[in-house]
């Protein structure tokens, strides 16, 4: 029982830790302008790839925390993406867009698809 609880705690701590990381990056004022200076024409594609990646990771951690609950993990991640965009609306030089939530959702769906494919290829354990 204690082992189960410690694994459960680790799953949720990893998820919460990743949420804090996303929140911290979203709290950076004028980050788009700063990365534009360094990345130039690649700024938007790299930033959108970052959205896909960070929310793919969030979905994967939520999926694990929810004990392989795809839909609950997706809804949880989607709500967090919406709240993150709302949070950005208060940060100087940042904007909140539904487009970014859509990009975040692409990351979640890619992660979900990869999990389904990987799990379908794993040998099933005996009951």
3-state secondary structure of 52: helix
pLDDT-derived band at 51, boundaries 50, 70, 90: very high
pLDDT-derived band at 126, boundaries 50, 70, 90: low
> Which pTM value belongs to this model?
0.88
The predicted model gives 87-97 an average pLDDT of 94
pLDDT in tens, 58-81: 999 999 999 878 999 999 999 999
Phi, psi of 76 (to 5 degrees): -60, -50
pLDDT-derived band at 124, boundaries 50, 70, 90: confident
Distance CA 119, CA 69 (A): 13
What residues does each domain of the chain span?
Answer: 2-121
Judging by beta carbons within 10 Å of its beta carbon (0-12, 13-18, 19+), is residue 72 exposed, middle or buried?
Answer: middle
């Amino acid at each position: 029982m204690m082992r189960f609880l410690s694994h459960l705690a680790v799953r949720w701590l990893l998820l919460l830790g990743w949420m804090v990381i996303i929140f911290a990056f979203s709290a950076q004022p004028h980050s788009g302008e700063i990365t534009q200076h360094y990345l130039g024409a690649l700024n938007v594609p790299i930033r959108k790839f970052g959205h896909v990646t960070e929310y793919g990771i969030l979905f994967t951690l939520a999926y694990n925390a929810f004990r392989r609950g795809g839909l609950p993990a997706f809804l949880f991640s989607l709500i967090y993406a919406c709240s993150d965009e709302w949070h950005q609306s208060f940060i100087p030089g940042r904007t909140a867009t539904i487009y970014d939530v859509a990009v975040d959702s692409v990351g979640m769906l890619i992660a979900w698809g990869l999990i389904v494919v990987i799990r379908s290829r794993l040998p099933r354990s005996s009951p």
